[in-house]
Every structure is written in C-alpha cells, then in structure tokens.
Amino acid sequence: MSKDTDILFGRLAVNNHMVTQDHINRCLQIQNEQDEQKVPLGQLLVEHNYLTIGQLHWLIENQTTLLNKPGPEAPRSPEEALFGKLAVSQNFISWDQLALCIREKSNLARLKINFRLGEIMIKKGFMTADQVKVILEAQKKRILVCEDCHCRFNIASFDSGQHLRCKFCGKPLAVPRDSDSVVVKETLRMPRLSTDSTRLPKSGRE
C-alpha cells in the first residue's frame, strides 16, 4: 500500500470499530522504522493480532470501492482527492455532496477564484471547520499562522517538535486563535531537518 492508501485503510478500520487509533499509530511507527520495503499497514495489524484475516479482507474490499468510486471530475491535487475520500469514509459528507463541491471548485477555478475543497465544503454547510481539521490531521497536516504578518499556512508533514517560522517575514508560526477558520495562503511541505527552528521553504506549493 502507498502512504495515502494506508491513511484511508487506517481510517476505515477505526471508523468501523475494528481497531483503535492507538493500534494504527503503533503499526505506523513499526512501518516507519523499516529500512527496506514497507510492510502494508493491514498486514502489520493482522500480525499483531489487532485485526482478523476476515476483517482485513472486508476492509480491503471497501477501501477498493472508495478508491475506485467514480466522480464527475477529479480534483487536480492528489491530496485533495484523498481529502474527499477521507471525508466520505468518515461519514462527514456523501458522495453526492463531494461531487457537488468538486464541480463548484472547477467552476470557480475557471474564474481564477481558488478555494480549497475543504473551504468549499464549509461554505456549502456540508462540513464544519472542526471536521475539516480532523481530515487534515489524518493527512498529517496542521494550520499555523504567523504571529507578525498573520499569513496562514497549511503545513504538510507537520512535526509538533519543530518551531517553524514564516516564509515571508521569518517570525514564529503558531496555532491560530480563530479555530473556526480553515482559510490558508498556501500549503507547504516541510523538509526533514534536524534543526529546531525552521523557516518555511520558498517553494513547494501544492
């Protein structure tokens, strides 16, 4: 399984009360420590007696259905495609609502208006800001804001041990106080650095 399919598999397993998030985290940690070819998350869960073989087959079948579910238009970003599938698997939205938001995003893009899929879902009343944040965290993302210029960033591959600084003014980034907003200036992926104070890269927008 790829990283994205592992995320979806784990979310399905937790949502159907087959495993706990702690079980998922333990197996992901084992997976991350493997130097060579990664063992699929489902196999690790069975090996550690968190899942049965029957449950594994059921989850794989349902995951395949989600991954192959057709839509009117696919989001251009693979991460947004995963966002939509996770939102459906979490029962936050329906497939019809996802399709409507994808069409809305495409129509706005033609007018040079760029909203992220999560923002559109909130504006349509299909999801709350807290629900969007649940999906972002499942994708290892976190919204941070600059304490000086107030630019907001969606940080991919977020590590809570890093102290990050704004790519524009260099001031520290922090968790925003206005927890109801998911609007960000751009999404940035953090490089794996050993320093504890990292300035965001000037490239890497997704």
* Owning domain of residue 108: 71-139
Q: Max alpha carbon distance in the chain (Å)?
A: 53
Residue 206 maps to a domain:
no
Domain final residue pick, 33, 68, 103: 68
Domain final residue pick, 68, 89, 121: 68
Q: Are residues 132 and 162 in the same domain?
A: no
Q: Are residues 58 and 82 in the same domain?
A: no
Q: Are residues 10 and 35 in the same domain?
A: yes
How high is the pLDDT of residue 204? Answer: 37
Comparing 64 with 58, which gets the higher pLDDT? Answer: 58
If DSSP states are collapsed to H, E and C, what string results for the chain?
Answer: CCHHHHHHHHHHHHHCCCCCHHHHHHHHHHHHCCCCCCCCHHHHHHHCCCCCHHHHHHHHHHHHHHHHCCCCCCCCCHHHHHHHHHHHHCCCCCHHHHHHHHHHHHHHHHCCCCCCHHHHHHHCCCCCHHHHHHHHHHCCEEEEEECCCCCEEEEECCCCCCEEECCCCCCEEECCCCCCCCCCCEEEECCCCCCCEEECCCCCCC
pLDDT tens digit string along 117-160?
Answer: 898 899 889 999 989 988 988 887 777 888 788 888 777 766 76
Residue 161 maps to a domain:
yes
Q: Are residues 58 and 14 in the same domain?
A: yes
Kindly state the average pLDDT of the residues 160-179.
78
Q: Are residues 151 and 131 in the same domain?
A: no
Reported as a pLDDT band with limits 50, 70 and 90, residue 184 is low
Q: Best-predicted range by mean pLDDT among 13-27, 69-83, 100-114, 155-169?
A: 13-27
Q: Are residues 54 and 92 in the same domain?
A: no
pLDDT tens digit string along 60-108?
Answer: 888 877 767 655 454 557 778 889 999 998 899 999 899 888 888 887 7
Number of domains in the chain: 3
Residue 204 maps to a domain:
no
How high is the pLDDT of residue 76? Answer: 57
pTM above 0.75, yes or no: no
